[in-house]
Chain A
Amino acid sequence: MEKAFTSVSAFSKCNEGRIKMAKTVLELQQITKSFTDKTKQTEVLKGIDFSINEGEFITLLGASGCGKTTLLRIIAGLESADTGSVLLEGEDITKKEPYLRDVNMVFQNYALFPHMTVAENIGYGLKTKKVPKKEIATKVQEMLELVQLEGYEKRMPDKLSGGQRQRVAIARAMINQPKVLLLDEPLGALDLKLRRQMQLELKRLQKKLNTTFIYITHDQEEAINMSDRIAVMHDGVFEQVGTPNEIYYQPETSYVASFVGNANLYHKADAVYAVRAESVLINETECTLDAVVIEKSFAGGQLRILFALSDGQKITASRFGIDYDLKVGEQAKIGWKEDSAVRVIANEN
């Protein structure tokens, strides 16, 4: 055995006494990738530079087609970059075969082997590494316990619910104790309630095993809930990398501001300011802008009031509750405190 398999419980115990130390585990250098489709060439990744620390939970957040899945597949080795390098603990693995890389992936559709039982699925990674059968069985049991699927080892994947399949997929990847675990929208197929629950569980697992996670999602709430750092991807580049707080309260570009939490973009002279809907004040002393209510809607526990300013710009304000003392068509004064407007680079399309 090249690497001794530390038992899960022992692993978590030593984890408790761990001193937090920023050690780079994965480094991406100038990654580019283009796809050619007949005559059209699309640049999917335009030079990604990034480094990830051990035990970090990183989320790649972006709309579909921003290149986040391609980046993940390049790290896994399922796709090769046109230029640039991937370094895993300092070793250049850019050209290394995917089956030799010490990273594992949780696929979007789970990709469970339909002809294998839950236990065989989870143990597959260890089987390919020729780990003795007895040891595999023990590890599989530990994993099943960890993802709360004890007693399901003999089931076939098609006899499981969506959430259970998800757990098997996670267990199958995590049993290998990869240096980095890649998760491609793993909760995308689950309903909202289950998704919330799995978010918490994933976070718990990640902390417990101290595995580095690179997590893909297009759901900003999920990203904010789970991540240590978020990388907002747009059009093949990282727009901004930062903690959920930084991304939410100090967006650097108008794309980040509007994608994460739907901030208002207020144009004044040549500058663009991001103002969160909850920071928009109505008929208070700071309010200086004339506005007309053009729409009211209730969503996500909040009432959203859409105003049109006299110059035609639209601003949304949000309030708790289901109604507010303003009717559609009514005039109002709106504004915001100076520090709740963040100047951003304009790049929204």
Chain B
Amino acid sequence: MKIKRKHSFSALLLPMYLFTILFVFLPIVYMIYISFMTRAEVWGFDTHVTLQNYMRILEPLYLDTFVRSLKLAFTTTVLVILIGYPFGYFMAKLSAKWKARMMMLMMIPFWTSSLVRLNGWVIVFQSNGVLDKILMGLGITTEPLKLLYSYPAVVFGMIYALCPFMILSVYSSVEKMDWSLLEAAVDLGANRRKAFFDITFKMTMPGLLSGVVLTFIPSMGLFFVADILGGSKVVLVGNIIQEQLTKGRNVPFAAALSVILMIMTSLIIALYRKIAGADANISGLG
């Protein structure tokens, strides 16, 4: 059956292949190519092959940035799991009416540009901003917290930007749960906690894992969050790439940084696929 139909399918897939080759594969090849070139005097690059760009990444300044980015991504992911998993779980257990309402509330922010929303948080977090005024008005604090342009502010921004992905991916796997399995576990002597970890948690693992991938990978590259909420105090790989491209005008070095970042994210996806298993029913993640 499958073999017979394969032919007609591949014809239908042709536009997708063309698109992928033109807009994904070729740019990546081009980027890798540039990463081995030399920086030009003014803009662009000279076609002198060099390993200088990669050597430069090994400088402590840039290595530290990679480590910092990984740490931030890790922190963000852990916090997103802690917030997003229960959120998605309980959302999936709501009545149909409330599910639709919650879904609506989650979607509304996506109608606005994330840059605008992040700048909204600037107003909230800045010294003597909305948050400070409320806290000081209530007498909880006496002076501005100076939250803006700090590491916690960046973590907050990351969580804010990425939590919906975790929530939705956990939600969709919890929604598919067959609750009679939980009853069976309880019937067989598992208390509710054990039944949750043995059954629900294990069965929603694919949702959680795809949420982790959807959180961890973007959080290494969301340079504008660090830019807007972290100012110049929190510099991530994404920020360096952007700076090298714009202010530094070092296109080959930016390309080399991007290649390394890409390799790191690919490794994480490979790890995810290994954990999730080859037959994981959570495709669509490359």
* Contact surface of A with B, Cβ cutoff 8 Å: 76, 78, 97-100, 104-105, 107, 109, 111-115, 124-125, 128-129, 172-173, 176
Contacts and interface: CB of A to CB of B under 8 A. Distances in A.
Nearest to A97: B191
5 contacts: A105-B187, A113-B185, A115-B202, A128-B190, A173-B187
B191 A107 contact: no
Interface size class of B (residues with CB under 8 A): 10 to 19
A71 to B, nearest CB: 15
Given A114-B203, A128-B194, A176 B188 contact: yes
Nearest to B182: A111
B23 to A, nearest CB: 38
Given A107-B184, A113-B181, 13 more contacts: A97-B191, A98-B183, A99-B190, A99-B195, A113-B185, A114-B181, A115-B202, A124-B198, A125-B188, A125-B189, A128-B189, A128-B194, A129-B189
Nearest to B184: A111
A202 to B, nearest CB: 18
B259 interface: no
B199 interface: yes
A104 B183 CA distance: 11
Interface of B: 178, 180-181, 183-192, 194-195, 198-199, 202-203
A172 B185 CA distance: 11
A48 B109 CA distance: 54
A128 B184 contact: no
Contact of B187 (A104, A115, A129): A104
Contacts of B190: 99, 124, 128
B185 A124 contact: yes
B177 to A, nearest CB: 11
Nearest to B188: A125
Given A111-B178, A111-B180, A78 B188 contact: no
Q: Which 8 A-B pairs have the closest CB atoms?
A: A128-B189, A125-B188, A111-B184, A111-B180, A128-B190, A105-B187, A98-B186, A99-B186
Contact of B188 (A97, A114, A115, A172): A172
A111 B191 contact: no
A76 B180 CA distance: 13
Contacts of A173: 187-188
Contacts of B192: 99
Contacts of A98: 183, 186-187
Nearest to A103: B187
B186 A176 contact: no
B186 A113 contact: no
Nearest to A184: B180
Nearest to B180: A111
Contacts of A115: 202-203
Contacts of A114: 181, 203
Contacts of A113: 181, 184-185, 198-199
Nearest to B195: A99
A124 B188 contact: yes
Contact of B186 (A78, A112, A129, A172): A78
Contact of B181 (A76, A104, A111, A128): A111
A38 to B, nearest CB: 12
A128 B203 CA distance: 18
Contacts of B183: 78, 98, 107, 111
A114 B181 CA distance: 9
A321 B194 CA distance: 59
B185 A76 contact: no
B180 A107 contact: yes
Contacts of A100: 189
A128 to B, nearest CB: 4
A76 B188 contact: no
Contacts of A78: 183, 186-187
B189 A99 contact: yes
Contact of A128 (B180, B188, B202): B188
A173 B188 CA distance: 7
Contact of A104 (B180, B188, B194, B199): B188
B186 A109 contact: no
- Residue of B183, B194, B202 ringed by the most chain A CB atoms within 10 A: B183
A304 to B, nearest CB: 39
A109 B189 CA distance: 19
A176 B188 CA distance: 8
Contacts of B178: 109, 111
Nearest to A115: B202
- Residue of A76, A97, A109, A111 ringed by the most chain B CB atoms within 10 A: A111
A30 to B, nearest CB: 24
A109 B183 CA distance: 12
